[in-house]
Structure 1
């Protein structure tokens, strides 16, 4: 059964209660689907289905399409710093604004695959042989590498009509090892996955492992911008100096010029050390955003519900911060694309003749 959202909730998802008036005007003009009655508890209310939200977001939102298709890598060399939370919020924000979005899971832990609701329909009372059969039916990047499936075969749908996923599978470990055995091993993901995806999707988001492995190298080579969380705790603070050094060396060696967008996470404003680290990041880290993601039960709840912070708590302070953060990330990525076009004179992205025929239905 589809989920419906009343006018007030829709306005909150896109970050501003005052959008109610714009949405009503668009509905009267026929520029968005008409709301319909739905049952909410004992009452009947008017609203829109989840599938219709991107049609509204495209008109009233703050995250427009980029000037060209863009690939983002979400990566840092430390786990537990809200990396997959960032990937989830970026993906759902883009999709809710009408962008055709594809998330590529590259972390063997599978956090973003789980966060997007792809749980293989495993129930607590499922039989083991049934679970194994369902898991075996899920194809991933390693199957593509082995030539057993085509790219469209491993793309699955989600609860939003324009949000898709290439799910993580345990065979990512084998794929990471297999990349050692091919020529141009750093470019496999760019040439075989990301470039073809750019012909269909407006944004591709690669959620990387916290380990700098071959798949991570591939994701960095394939990306237009790196989105990297900076935890406002002492261990990540110490880790960042080493990470930034290796990142700079890697970009120089590979002659890459992707944009670095560093986002403070788990910021606790009532803790002095956390506040000092946050201030240090802003004053010393080139590419650090003006806001980050604070420590919050709300963010954890949203992740557990497989939705974005804005869908869960759009008008709470953390929701308002997320709107500002997503706007800043969008502006930074778009500016990088524009500057890249100026530098090279025209769009340099690789084009592929591959077309997609998948219908986007959930498995």
Structure 2
């Protein structure tokens, strides 16, 4: 895989704006981050930071800091095509670029987040069927953990970012969803066997759910500290939301859950009055709706197609600036929720050093 380099201007834009250039230069001069190197860009040579240095810069200067305790997020809504997996992708990559050790758990049989993170890259273009079959057979997932055929760490695979890992979706998720009906405490299997153990080694665990409310989704909601739910600024999602919110509230009461519900408006259009009206309605009437929003646009679609976050693909552009606003607000809401539910978490410090013996086997 070719190394990616980022100019000083791009790095500053990725983490909040050009006012950070002076701080980044100071870190470089003090040796706290690696020095810029020359790299070839087309016919020209430029200077930039390697991808390995980016997370160090993000950790020191960025907007998405490590939480006071390990945190699990569930990304879910009952409608497809609303940027759910795009939101999960941006959460995961942005967190990893800020130095948070992050694991994504794929729970959607369609495998959108697994594809978005680049795990399936090259399969369709390969002319070698044997290679494809071998890779698919080597891929282990949650069903293998459920059947006790592998340990949890054997299902975790690395990505192109050193802080980002994945438990990929596999076709056996369908069978796993059915099998959960046959065990005691069926709603708690994911929490007890997967998410809680992951939180001993990761700063952030993100579960990307199917748009169908199935048993795996129920497990993810039970296991999460916060729900991140996209609200598409279109009439079909607007009509769907009232039913979804009613079911969600009843579920939380029945299961006695107190996870934070954070709603993110998506796919709004500057050129459609109805879209703007729906966005305003969400902000005024939906408890937990953030002020930020993700617009409909080519830049965001390109980023997802390239398996990148918005801040990596188009730093400084409207799509990137908006995702910074969105993720900053989501981060603040999660932090407030953690402090409110567990006051002692404010003094809790997560020690990566204690996790180091496990880390090498998960790379």
TM range (shorter): over 0.9
TM-score when scaled to structure 2? Answer: 0.94
Aligned twin of 1:71: 72
Is 2:6 the partner of 1:8? no
Aligned twin of 1:350: none
Aligned twin of 1:281: 282
Q: Does the 8 Å contact 1:69/1:202 carry over to 2?
A: yes
SS at structure 2 position matched to 1:144 = helix
Q: Does the 8 Å contact 1:120/1:134 carry over to 2?
A: no
How many Å separate the matches in 2 of 1:22 and 1:354? 30
Is 2:47 the partner of 1:51? no
Q: Does the 8 Å contact 2:89/2:309 carry over to 1?
A: yes
How many Å separate the matches in 1 of 2:171 and 2:183? 21
Residue 223 to residue 135, structure 1, CA distance change in 2 (3 Å): same
TM-score when scaled to structure 1? Answer: 0.94
Residue 54 to residue 354, structure 1, CA distance change in 2 (3 Å): closer
Aligned twin of 1:356: 358
SS at structure 2 position matched to 1:264 = strand
Q: Does the 8 Å contact 2:78/2:244 carry over to 1?
A: yes
In the alignment, structure 2 segments of 5+ residues that lack a partner are 349-354
SS at structure 2 position matched to 1:270 = coil
1:311 CA displacement: 0.9
Deviations 1:228-261 (A, max 9, x none): 0011111111110000000000000000000000
Is 2:318 the partner of 1:305? no
In the alignment, structure 1 segments of 5+ residues that lack a partner are 348-352
1:41 CA displacement: 2.3
- State the superposition RMSD in angstroms: 2.1
Is 2:145 the partner of 1:140? no
1:123 CA displacement: 4.4
Q: Does the 8 Å contact 2:338/2:345 carry over to 1?
A: no
1:133 CA displacement: 1.9
How many Å separate the matches in 2 of 1:174 and 1:123? 25
Residue 358 to residue 29, structure 1, CA distance change in 2 (3 Å): closer
Is 2:211 the partner of 1:205? no
Greater shift, 117-126 or 159-168, is seen at 117-126
How many Å separate the matches in 2 of 1:357 and 1:50? 20
How many Å separate the matches in 2 of 1:195 and 1:85? 25
How many Å separate the matches in 2 of 1:132 and 1:66? 40
Q: Does the 8 Å contact 1:15/1:319 carry over to 2?
A: no
1:125 CA displacement: 4.0
How many Å separate the matches in 1 of 2:67 and 2:85? 22
Deviations 1:151-198 (A, max 9, x none): 110101111100000000000001101111110000010001110111
Aligned twin of 1:269: 270
Aligned twin of 2:222: 221
Greater shift, 109-118 or 268-277, is seen at 268-277
1:50 CA displacement: 1.1
Greater shift, 90-99 or 128-137, is seen at 128-137
How many Å separate the matches in 1 of 2:74 and 2:82? 15
Within 5 Å, which residues of 2 pair with 1:1-363? 1-119=2-120, 121-342=122-343, 356-361=358-363
Length, aligned pairs only:
358
